[in-house]
Chains A and B, each alone.
Chain A
């Protein structure tokens, strides 16, 4: 990788001296990419094209961000024809040729979202305005995804969302320049419902604990809809403050509420803490209404499973992807990720890797980096061999439609990564919905 950005010569580094050290690696871009010479923002005129990788490097999701970054670095290698090619060997149809994109070598710059909208937008603006990034990608929360997506629309830069699960990203807040490969809460609900019905029956009383912000509400709404359609009753839906730490005061009312299922609409550390504590309060040892009390965590990730430890065992949830999948695409990705880093990738890494490839492939197919053309190449694009079966980027809302995994916390893990057991790959048809139900407008192709 060290041969990237050859523009920085030794002489230049010495000349700019101490004060310039910080800027030396990137400052030349300021001169080479003058805004006047291009018909669209950051049109790559040199021999390189730059991606802006905007991931959480500090804060609660730093480990997830680190995994995203690993996946991106791998994707860049594969697109440039280095390494074993990963999913380039399995993706169908494929326009990329392993020589960069449109004959230009792929480079990247990185930034820290801090999982804060302001910081994420600051960082995205730096990569767009200073580093000349042609595309921004990454992130680990819906708030950040929506914020960066709307910025990218204004700036005329395509945004390939990382991990974001709220319906809003491709619903109410969708944008022409934003694309999401990850699934959403509606799909989680639709995929989980039949499994919940099969495992726990149709006469259940559910109690929701919900993180008190947009994503939590989104998931709570989706789960209530899909479980009530099964005939379940919703006993209560209680909102908990983000980062509450100790959830005991929210968990104890569940005990005497008459509910026999607890649905935890939490993510990240909230989920790790609330699940750990719910298990400690003996919820899973209880009998209620003549049935075993159950806990459901609608959105799972391997990192969360690691944080929750043994408490995750036997718990049902959904996930976008898991490294244990046996299809050729997943295998190719897991192999090359494992060879590079020594452990298997997370679902966040997978979605980011796929997003980078999809964007690169779309540029190659369009034969240009001109965003409106690339957007048209992505809209309605049907592909396979990237780990979730046949997939489509729906044109109406830029949401990928694909199979969704229902998983269970592994009872007998064979390694520290073997935490989730895929119990069902819910087919795409079952989780599809009408794009109109969430409203929102994509906006124009051309941005002034």
Chain B
């Protein structure tokens, strides 16, 4: 049950080390602070879950952010109604988003291809629009669902007095706002990664891959594929709900914009950027997109001037305004360019790029060029004139 084949086990162990040591190796990137570390862990988990549906079955959901939002709302309600302990919150988040995913999946999976995508998009947009407006009593609309002094918190208040300040989410005394929250989310990410690995190599995972490569042929064998795809949909919806719950655990506020189509689109971009179908690729894609959004937007002309202070003033005056177009208020431009460049030059995403480099290095060392041929050709085709 808890074993992995040797190759997967090694990947898993490396992944665990990489994740847990993020506070250290992200220092030179300026990304080692609790807020972003938590984001990395949580969106990594979201991407791992999304890949179980998209990467394994090929069904492209354009509405997964809805489950993220449902998970967040559920977790905050759990804080408000019961206790500030994160464990019940994330359990509720998984259950409720799972139910939600079951309903939406059951309907949406009656169609395939882009019709499926639009159905999921429609459900997510309906959830977003309603959460923003008429469902305000449940979601607190635009302002977002937050804790208040008047929350019942029946479990907590049975054991302690109501404090003067708003309570904080804590796992048996460990505060979830700072590094505590990161390690909590990181451990769940590692567990989620393990589960995804298990799924990928299980007979169930094989079945899903079969559906991806040819659903019709699977159908001809007399097998009903829908229970498998629905299971994959619900599992990935639960991952999303768990990620949403963790967002609320590390920062107890749930807003409707988490469910907007742009958020659903973002997770698709993360997975495609990193590499569809690989398990680590989506996580990498999530990290890179979140890194860009947080760090590139923070760079302003001052910081650029400091970075290039070793250059002569005239070069600086030319370079800084030019680069300023791509950072600060222009960070989205950089992001857009990156999407275009990655997909043009690295079909298959970043993991494909990594694989090619690995192949090339091993080819160089063994002087064997055969294995390089194929990727080199696709490279040429993709790059065009």
Q: Are A and B bound to each other?
A: yes
Instruction: List 13 extra interface pairs beyond A25-B306, A130-B35, CB under 8 A.
Output: A13-B307, A16-B28, A25-B30, A58-B331, A58-B332, A112-B298, A117-B144, A118-B257, A142-B142, A143-B143, A143-B255, A153-B166, A214-B141
Any chain B CB within 8 A of the CB of A236?
Answer: no
Contact check, A123 vs B294: say whether CB atoms are below 8 A apart: yes
Known: A110-B328, A168-B143, A242-B132. A130 touches B307 (CB 8 A): no
Q: Considering the complex of A and B, which 5 residue pairs feature the smallest CB-CB distances, nearest first?
A: A23-B30, A125-B35, A25-B303, A57-B329, A213-B142
Write out, one digit per residue, whether chain B residues 303-337 have a CB within 8 A of any chain A CB (1) or not (0): 11111111000000000000000001101100000
- A447 to B165 Cα, complex, angstroms: 8
- A15 to B136 Cα, complex, angstroms: 52
Q: Is the interface of A mostly helix, strand, loop or mixed?
A: helix
Known: A21-B307, A123-B294, A146-B143. A239 touches B133 (CB 8 A): yes
Write out, one digit per residue, whether chain A residues 1-40 have a CB within 8 A of any chain B CB (1) or not (0): 1101100101001101001111111110010000000000
Q: Which of A19, A128, A153, A212 contacts B132 (CB 8 A)?
A: A212
B residues within 8 Å of A by Cβ? Answer: 27-36, 39, 129, 132-134, 136, 141-144, 146, 149, 164-166, 168, 177-178, 247, 251, 253, 255, 257-258, 293-310, 328-329, 331-332
Contact check, B253 vs A147: say whether CB atoms are below 8 A apart: yes
What residues of chain B lie closer than 8 Å to A155, measured between beta carbons?
A: 177
- A402 to B255 Cα, complex, angstroms: 32
Contact check, A58 vs B34: say whether CB atoms are below 8 A apart: no
Q: Which of B34, B134, B247, B331 contacts A112 (CB 8 A)?
A: B331
Contact check, B251 vs A151: say whether CB atoms are below 8 A apart: yes
What residues of chain A lie closer than 8 Å to B296, measured between beta carbons?
A: 22
Q: Which of A119, A128, A444 contacts B165 (CB 8 A)?
A: A444
A347 vs chain B, min Cβ distance (A): 20
> 9 A-B residue contacts at CB 8 Å?
A13-B308, A23-B27, A23-B28, A24-B307, A25-B307, A118-B247, A142-B142, A143-B143, A147-B255
Contact check, A150 vs B253: say whether CB atoms are below 8 A apart: yes
Q: In A399-448, which residues have CB < 8 Å from any B CB?
A: 441, 443-444, 447-448
Q: Which of B298, B309, B329 contacts A123 (CB 8 A)?
A: B298
Q: Which of A24, A62, A110, A154 contacts B298 (CB 8 A)?
A: A110
A440 vs chain B, min Cβ distance (A): 9
Any chain B CB within 8 A of the CB of A122?
Answer: yes
Any chain B CB within 8 A of the CB of A109?
Answer: yes
Any chain B CB within 8 A of the CB of A111?
Answer: yes
What residues of chain B lie closer than 8 Å to A239, measured between beta carbons?
A: 133
What residues of chain B lie closer than 8 Å to A173, measured between beta carbons?
A: 143, 146
B99 vs chain A, min Cβ distance (A): 24
Any chain B CB within 8 A of the CB of A350?
Answer: no
What residues of chain B lie closer than 8 Å to A153, measured between beta carbons?
A: 165-166
Contact check, A22 vs B295: say whether CB atoms are below 8 A apart: yes
What residues of chain A lie closer than 8 Å to B166, measured between beta carbons?
A: 150, 153-154, 443
Known: A27-B27, A58-B332, A173-B143. A5 touches B306 (CB 8 A): yes
What residues of chain B lie closer than 8 Å to A111, measured between beta carbons?
A: 297-298
Q: In A36-89, which residues have CB < 8 Å from any B CB?
A: 57-58, 62, 65-66
Any chain B CB within 8 A of the CB of A365?
Answer: no
- A150 to B132 Cα, complex, angstroms: 19
What residues of chain B lie closer than 8 Å to A58, measured between beta carbons?
A: 297, 329, 331-332
Q: Is the interface of B mostly helix, strand, loop or mixed?
A: helix
Known: A142-B143, A150-B253. A2 touches B293 (CB 8 A): no
What residues of chain A lie closer than 8 Å to B141, measured between beta carbons?
A: 213-214
Contact check, A129 vs B33: say whether CB atoms are below 8 A apart: yes
What residues of chain B lie closer than 8 Å to A444, measured between beta carbons?
A: 164-165
- A72 to B149 Cα, complex, angstroms: 34
Q: Which of A27, A65, A117 contacts B28 (CB 8 A)?
A: A27
Contact check, B129 vs A241: say whether CB atoms are below 8 A apart: yes
What residues of chain B lie closer than 8 Å to A214, measured between beta carbons?
A: 136, 141-143
Any chain B CB within 8 A of the CB of A394?
Answer: no
Any chain B CB within 8 A of the CB of A181?
Answer: no
Contact check, A1 vs B302: say whether CB atoms are below 8 A apart: yes
Contact check, A26 vs B303: say whether CB atoms are below 8 A apart: yes
A126 vs chain B, min Cβ distance (A): 6
Q: In A100-132, which residues have CB < 8 Å from any B CB?
A: 108-112, 116-119, 121-123, 125-131
Contact check, B34 vs A20: say whether CB atoms are below 8 A apart: no
B37 vs chain A, min Cβ distance (A): 9
A154 vs chain B, min Cβ distance (A): 7
Q: In A168-190, which residues have CB < 8 Å from any B CB?
A: 168, 173
Contact check, A116 vs B257: say whether CB atoms are below 8 A apart: yes
What residues of chain A lie closer than 8 Å to B34, measured between beta carbons?
A: 125, 129
Any chain B CB within 8 A of the CB of A300?
Answer: no
What residues of chain A lie closer than 8 Å to B136, measured between beta carbons?
A: 214
B313 vs chain A, min Cβ distance (A): 9
What residues of chain A lie closer than 8 Å to B331, measured between beta carbons?
A: 57-58, 112
What residues of chain B lie closer than 8 Å to A333, measured between beta carbons?
A: none
What residues of chain B lie closer than 8 Å to A16, measured between beta carbons?
A: 28
B142 vs chain A, min Cβ distance (A): 4
Any chain B CB within 8 A of the CB of A215?
Answer: yes
Contact check, A143 vs B144: say whether CB atoms are below 8 A apart: yes
B295 vs chain A, min Cβ distance (A): 6
Contact check, B299 vs A121: say whether CB atoms are below 8 A apart: no
What residues of chain B lie closer than 8 Å to A151, measured between beta carbons?
A: 251, 253
A268 vs chain B, min Cβ distance (A): 13
Contact check, B28 vs A20: say whether CB atoms are below 8 A apart: yes
B257 vs chain A, min Cβ distance (A): 5
What residues of chain A lie closer than 8 Å to B251, measured between beta carbons?
A: 121, 125, 151
Contact check, A2 vs B29: say whether CB atoms are below 8 A apart: no
Chain B CB within 10 Å, residue with most, of A14, A16, A118, A239: A118
- A130 to B149 Cα, complex, angstroms: 29
- A154 to B27 Cα, complex, angstroms: 25
- A151 to B30 Cα, complex, angstroms: 22
- A215 to B141 Cα, complex, angstroms: 10
Q: Which of A108, A125, A443 contacts B33 (CB 8 A)?
A: A125
Q: Which A-chain residue is minimally distant from B297 (CB atoms)?
A: A112
What residues of chain A lie closer than 8 Å to B329, measured between beta carbons?
A: 57-58, 62, 65-66, 112
- A1 to B304 Cα, complex, angstroms: 11
- A117 to B299 Cα, complex, angstroms: 20
A264 vs chain B, min Cβ distance (A): 17
